[in-house]
Structure 1
């Protein structure tokens, strides 16, 4: 593969991956504006975030089999069309319940982009390159939470929150065109794959029974729910508790993303010396220590705005290291069922994320402690799960730099 083609593929796959985070983060600074215009509360508006997470979670399971059955491009086209129409609906919405529903539809649409990009990484690149490609996608994925809320903050302050959804609709159109023109047909449709519920469920169960899959998918997802907790709680914490304006909030959110991106790029360098397994273990130990210290500081009222930002920065850095590695090891055993495995991995991650954001909507009102408590508990559960799950892996499919797929006992 030529360097030019490699860069083009990474860019398009990166934009597909970025559609979800942009849709999640760009409207966050508009929460108080949306609440005012739709005559509701910020807590009710945050339900539109939870409905988005549920939509992505359900959508992942829907697109997995579709991408394996019809190839990658047709389901991608349909999904992005749904996204464009739902974004258009959000521009003209006048009722909070319709808004929550449209966000769900938007998620169902954007999901096609997320699942297709992960499956296409497995189609287009050799196994040994996958963690490296995921780290590059992490870079694009990490840039989106930096850019999205900052742009969202300025757009919201100057033009109102409706304009944010107009921009998202235009992004959807651009991505639709780029993916249809620029991506190869990386996978021949497999007509043997049935779309009846029973074979689909059987297929998912087959993936789920693989010890390497469930160990790393759940470890990664439970740890990662800390990020969803932070995203859902951040408008309340920064704008209500610490009283910053929409623009400043956008900049704080962008600064936080630097830690997530920086550490996922550091991960690429560290992988030359350590295995993915060692990286996950180390990152989770560090994340446990950080979250326990964070909780103790919070319980003793020792956190101001800057201390909170500092502790969240360290917490997110740990996730930037563990996440590409858990994703790589989760996907490694699947050459044939990559679409279903990718969908299931995403559904688990986003399902747990939706639960975390619901918890935030219920508990995070006028104190930062509930958010930190949720983060601490999920981190410790992830660490325990990793150590129990590892015992069941008889044959590990490794992501090793020196050969295609390496099975170790």
Structure 2
């Protein structure tokens, strides 16, 4: 465990539980900008006088901006401290969420979605905090636990999103994000030490670390496996409204979604843990680089699917097969 977080505060089990809750909250809040918003696509299209396909494409825009923002958040957390960067990002993302609620036209809505995405760079700190807060032998287990909870939340998110849409209209998911972000802000203030209260780490050049990461083939391969698995799942949920427009039933959609969620829950934690172990001393930068691979892949895949038109279902099926074979080939090459 990192020395920065080695000092016990109160009961050890309570402290571990408190840390796990923070990690889990970072994972769960990541569903609000995308998953929880899905039932509100038709309402957004009506509100801003645009098409459902255009609203679906905005998910890709959000993901691309987010992928860039996490490239900044991770390295900054190595340099300035996890707590400082986490709290700052929460503030920015909350302001973006509130701005979306107050938007009166679609370009303004997209602008504040971009602001929200910039702040949401703190999502990447979940992986870095696992490296900081837990022993090496516990990290894969912790990731499996909180990603399993995330998988359960995925299953429940359409119901929650529908309830928020019914109760608060399309603004509901943004209200939910802001409330959860406020709770996480308070929780992080209480359990994470500031940079000035932690022992100084040896200064490491961010550029040098990125070069080292880019040159490590196993690191790239582990994250590429995680990216391929996540891209299948993300691309599927991002085009869900378009699938229903093609009259696909809930049952036939639920089966591939459950398979994708199961793959994400089982494969991604193991691949990410193995990758992060290679650069645990620069966990923020490593997590940023890896997550960028994953989310750029997901964003490009979902954007391509959104343009598939009448061939959408066949394109999804072929993509699942190709990505699965690609992942198995990549796994076979790890360690060579």
Superposition deviation, residue 356 in structure 1: 1.0
Structure 1 length-normalised TM: 0.74
**Contact 1:26/1:164, CA 8 A, preserved across alignment:** yes
Query: CA 1:365 to 1:33, structure 2 compared with 1: closer, same or farther past 3 Å?
Result: farther
* Mapping for residues 348-359 of structure 1, pairs under 5 Å: 348-359=293-304
**Contact 1:70/1:190, CA 8 A, preserved across alignment:** no
**Distance in 2 (alpha carbons) for counterparts of 1:329 and 1:104:** 32
Q: Which residue of 1 aligns with 2:135?
A: 126
Count residues with an aligned counterpart: 324
1:75 paired to 2:85? yes
Superposition deviation, residue 139 in structure 1: 2.8
**Distance in 2 (alpha carbons) for counterparts of 1:360 and 1:96:** 22
1:229 paired to 2:239? no
Q: Which residue of 1 aligns with 2:305?
A: 360
Q: Which residue of 2 aligns with 1:327?
A: 272
Q: Which residue of 1 aligns with 2:246?
A: 241
**Distance in 1 (alpha carbons) for counterparts of 2:153 and 2:115:** 21
**Distance in 1 (alpha carbons) for counterparts of 2:211 and 2:136:** 23
Structure 2, unaligned runs of 5 or more = 1-7
**Distance in 1 (alpha carbons) for counterparts of 2:310 and 2:47:** 21
1:165 paired to 2:174? yes
Q: Which moved more, 1:346-355 or 1:117-126?
A: 117-126
Residue by residue over 1:279-310, the C-alpha shift from the partner in whole angstroms, topping out at 9 and shown as x without a partner, is xxxxxxxxxxxxxxxxxxxxxxxxx5433422
**Distance in 1 (alpha carbons) for counterparts of 2:113 and 2:188:** 23
Which of 217, 226, 244 is residue 211 of structure 1 equivalent to? 217
Superposition deviation, residue 367 in structure 1: 4.5
Query: CA 1:314 to 1:16, structure 2 compared with 1: closer, same or farther past 3 Å?
Result: closer
What secondary structure does 2:30 align onto?
A: helix
Q: Which residue of 2 aligns with 1:407?
A: none
Q: Which residue of 2 aligns with 1:44?
A: 54
Superposition deviation, residue 182 in structure 1: 2.6
1:192 paired to 2:198? no
**Distance in 1 (alpha carbons) for counterparts of 2:252 and 2:156:** 23
Q: Which residue of 2 aligns with 1:292?
A: none
What secondary structure does 1:333 align onto?
A: helix
* Mapping for residues 58-69 of structure 1, pairs under 5 Å: 58-69=68-79
Structure 2 length-normalised TM: 0.89
Structure 1, unaligned runs of 5 or more = 194-198, 244-303, 392-409
Query: Runs (4+) of structure 1 moved beyond 4 Å?
Result: 185-191, 364-367
**Contact 2:82/2:125, CA 8 A, preserved across alignment:** yes
